[in-house]
Amino acid sequence: MRKAFRRPVFLIGLFISLALFSVALLSLVWTPFPPTKMNIVQKLKAPLEFGLLGTDQFGRDVASALMVGAWNSLSTSILAVALGASIGTMAGVVVAMRRGWLELIVMRGCDIIFAVPPILSAMMLGAFIGSGRFTAIVAIAVFMVPVFARLTLSAALQIWTRDYVAAAVGMGRSKATITRVHVLPNISNQIIVQVTIQLGLAILTEAGLSFLGLGMPPPAPTWGRMLADSQTFLGQAPWLALMPGLAIALAVLGLNMLGDGLRDLLDPRDDS
């Protein structure tokens, strides 16, 4: 634990991530103004001229919208990563257990899924089942599956070569039990690190999807759509394009730093 306080990357990452989560949670109970309430008289006000960060073309408070946007972005991303990580991890440990033709099929499948960027699968899904949060979650989750399947497989295969696993096999433990008792607990650190980093990637992707109108439908504020809307007013109100982008970048930066910090911290080989 003391080690944690000597890692600036970890600390900064933790701080930003906690701030992000707090703001997102706070938005559920309090925002400076109702985030979707229009107030045309106060439209396109600069930061501090009205509210903390100004208003958009309908006079809606930017700071409030950003707060709710944090919740919308985070909750979508968390659901997507949770879904993708569980399926991917499950596939990875099962393949590590069985090997053979199953490994070939799953890994080739991963290559194929990886070839379709989530933006495009969201477009395809959007065309058929309509765009919205569900589409965004599925598109991002599908892309996460190969990431976690590959990671889990390679990590789990290493565990399967260990002596204590050989001992467990010798004792007649079933493969499923070994996976549960020995493999999963020993690879969980790597999965946690990856979840953190992929959460950042999911936020980035979700922002891209809502930018294209493939995320949560209006009037729910999302960082991506705030950026899309700001395009019309780049000359008049450039700050509208500044804040949501900064929010995305900061959120991703924080999660990436937290992930890197965790990786350092959880690595048992490194005691420096």
Binding positions for other proteins, rule: CB under 8 A: 108, 111-112, 114-121, 123-129, 200, 204-205, 207-208, 211-213, 227, 230-231, 234-235, 238, 241-242, 244-245, 248-250, 252-253, 256-257
Residue among 155 and 207 whose Cβ is closer to other proteins: 207
Residue among 140 and 159 whose Cβ is closer to other proteins: 140
Residue among 96 and 257 whose Cβ is closer to other proteins: 257
Residue among 182 and 263 whose Cβ is closer to other proteins: 263
- Kindly state the smallest distance separating residue 110's Cβ from other proteins, in Å: 12
- Kindly state the smallest distance separating residue 29's Cβ from other proteins, in Å: 28
DSSP of the chain: -GGGGG-HHHHHHHHHHHHHHHHHHHHHH--SS-TT---GGGTTPPTTTSTTT-B-TT--BHHHHHHHHHHHHHHHHHHHHHHHHHHHHHHHHHHHHH-HHHHHHHHHHHHHHHTS-HHHHHHHHHHHH--SHHHHHHHHHHHHHHHHHHHHHHHHHHHHTSHHHHHHHHTT--HHHHIIIIIHHHHHHHHHHHHHHHHHHHHHHHHHHHHTT-SSPTTS--HHHHHHHHGGGTTT-THHHHHHHHHHHHHHHHHHHHHHHHHHHH-TT---
Residue among 66 and 165 whose Cβ is closer to other proteins: 66
- Kindly state the smallest distance separating residue 243's Cβ from other proteins, in Å: 11
How far is the C-alpha of 168 from the C-alpha of 72, rounded, in Å?
45
Non-local (6+) Cβ contacts of 216 within 8 A are 72, 76, 132, 133, 136, 210, 222
- Kindly state the smallest distance separating residue 36's Cβ from other proteins, in Å: 23
Residue among 19 and 212 whose Cβ is closer to other proteins: 212
Residue among 108 and 180 whose Cβ is closer to other proteins: 108
- Kindly state the smallest distance separating residue 199's Cβ from other proteins, in Å: 12
- Kindly state the smallest distance separating residue 119's Cβ from other proteins, in Å: 4
- Kindly state the smallest distance separating residue 251's Cβ from other proteins, in Å: 8
